[in-house]
Homo-oligomer: A and B are copies of this chain.
């Protein structure tokens, strides 16, 4: 699905570094390539989160769920990139612990939307979900 071989590696590296920052519970690393106007459709409610503060606050609950030893591993990452706009799809294999201590595994679907702003690829949208019905 690659449209520009020259842009796809940059977008791929950005997303792989974002996932690495999540595994390291490095909040600054998670946010470094994100727009202040990000629109987040997160796995838990509410329906949507708008803007950097809401996006930033969505991560500590996941860190708690990962319990320092969980998994957040991308697979089937696919990038569709033009010169100025790109989107990516992936699955995320997540392993953590519920509040009651039970081990849990999730298979999450991920879509990321990006724009090139000031010469830098910037994430303006994320959509994380499980099938719900």
List the interface of chain A (C-beta within 8 A of B): 1, 3-4, 37, 39, 41-48, 78, 80-87, 89, 91, 107, 109, 111, 113, 115, 124-125, 127, 129-133
Q: Which single member of B42, B87, B125 contacts A85 (CB below 8 Å)?
A: B87
Please report the C-alpha to C-alpha distance between residue A125 and residue B48 in the assembled complex, in whole angstroms. 20
Contact (Cβ within 8 A) A44 B131: yes
Chain B residues with CB below 8 A from A43, complex form: 131-133
- Asked if B91 contacts A39 (CB within 8 A), the reply is no
Q: Are A1 and B84 in contact (CB under 8 A)?
A: no
Residue in contact with A124 in the complex, picked from B80, B83, B86, CB distance below 8 Å: B80
Cα A46 to Cα B127 in complex, Å, equals: 17
- Inter-chain CA distance A83–B124, complex, in Å, is 18
Query: Within the complex, what minimum Cβ distance (angstroms) separates A42 from chain B?
Result: 7
Complex: A27 Cα to B41 Cα, angstroms: 27
Complex formed: what's the CA distance from A93 to B133 in Å? 16
Residues A115 and B85 in contact, CB atoms below 8 Å apart: no
